[in-house]
Chains A and B, each alone.
Chain A
C-alpha cells in the first residue's frame, strides 16, 4: 500500500481502548479510528438501520472499503454482502491494478501468454481473493471481448469446489477491431490486458468442517478463448492453471 502511495485507516464504533487492545493483540500499526456513537458512520450514510436499538451491534456500519484519491474523491468502493465474507486488502489492491502478492503461474500458447496470480499469500475461510490474469496476445493476434458478435469471448472457468464461490469475471475496456475482408467491427483485446476473477473461500459451518484438517487448498481453472489474426481464426483453446495456497483457519 505504501508503494502505491495509499494511506490506510479503519473505522469502527468501538472505543479507543477496545481498538488499542485489538491492535496490540494483532500487531496492527495503522490507525484504527474509534467512532464511539457512530458519528462518522452516520456522516458517511453507512449506519446499519437493520440492527435493533439496544442490541450490542447497534451502531455498526454496513462494512465496506473506499479508495480515495489525494483530494478525497471516491475512486472505488467495495461492499460486502454477507456478514461472514470480507474482501482482503490485497484483493482490493489487485482490483486497483496492483501486482498480486500470492502464487503466480504462467502458460503460453501460440496465440498468447498468460500470467495468473492470486492476490493473497494464504486462504482463510470468509476471505474474498482476486486472481489476476495478465494476458498478452502475441503480435498480430487478438482475442474476443464481450460485445455484439458471435465469436468466443475469452473467459475464465474456475473448477467447482464445495468451499469456493467464484464471482463474475471482470473485463477491462476493449477496443474495436475492423476485419476488412468481411467489413466486420468487433470488440477485441489486441494489447496486454487484465481479467480479474474474484473467488470467496466460504465460511459456512459445513465448509469449515470440511476444511478443518487441511493445511492448504488448491484452486484450479481454465482460460478459454478463441484467437484470430488478420487472416485466420484458430480453433478455441483452453489453458489449464492451478494455484495452491496455505490455508489458515479462522481465529476463534
Chain B
C-alpha cells in the first residue's frame, strides 16, 4: 500500500516537474518588498511579517506540506 502511494507521489512529482515554470520568474524579486501577511502558527499564535522578523531580517520558507 505504502509502495503504491509512493509510486503515485513520485509519478505526480514527475508530472508536476514536467510543467514547472521558470522558477526565477515566480514570487517577489530581489530588491522588492515582501508582502506583509497575517497567519496562525502551530501554537495558535497570530503572526505577521513583523512578529516573525529577527533583529536583522527573516528567513521565510515556503514548503509543500507537512502532511504528505
Contacts and interface: CB of A to CB of B under 8 A. Distances in A.
Nearest to A84: B13
B26 A45 contact: yes
Given A70-B57, A75-B57, A83-B17, A9 B27 contact: no
B65 A32 contact: no
A83 B42 CA distance: 24
Contacts of A7: 52-54, 57-59
Given A73-B32, A74-B34, A76-B30, A67 B42 contact: no
B39 A35 contact: yes
Given A33-B47, A45-B27, A77-B27, A4 B56 contact: yes
Interface residues of B, number: 48
B66 interface: yes
Interface string A69-87: 1111111110111111000
B4 interface: no
A252 to B, nearest CB: 8
A13 to B, nearest CB: 7
A72 B34 CA distance: 6
Interface stretch (A56-64, A152-160, A217-225, A240-248): A56-64
A63 B13 CA distance: 13
Interface of B, helix, strand, loop or mixed by DSSP = loop
Given A8-B59, A82-B17, A33 B64 contact: no
A68 B42 contact: no
B41 A74 contact: no
A31 to B, nearest CB: 4
A22 interface: yes
Contact of B52 (A1, A31, A252): A31
Contact of A34 (B28, B41, B53): B41
Contacts of A84: 13
A14 B67 CA distance: 7
Interface of A: 1-2, 4-14, 16, 18-20, 22-23, 28, 31-35, 39-41, 43-46, 48-51, 55-57, 60-77, 79-84, 89, 92, 252
Interface pairs A-B: 4 shortest CB-CB: A5-B56, A7-B54, A5-B55, A22-B66
20 contacts: A6-B58, A8-B54, A9-B61, A11-B60, A16-B41, A18-B67, A22-B67, A31-B45, A31-B47, A43-B35, A62-B20, A63-B61, A66-B27, A68-B34, A68-B57, A72-B34, A73-B32, A74-B32, A74-B33, A92-B59
Given A11-B62, A72-B49, A79-B26, 16 more contacts: A5-B57, A8-B58, A12-B62, A12-B66, A14-B67, A18-B67, A20-B42, A22-B67, A33-B39, A46-B62, A48-B16, A66-B59, A74-B31, A81-B17, A82-B17, A89-B59
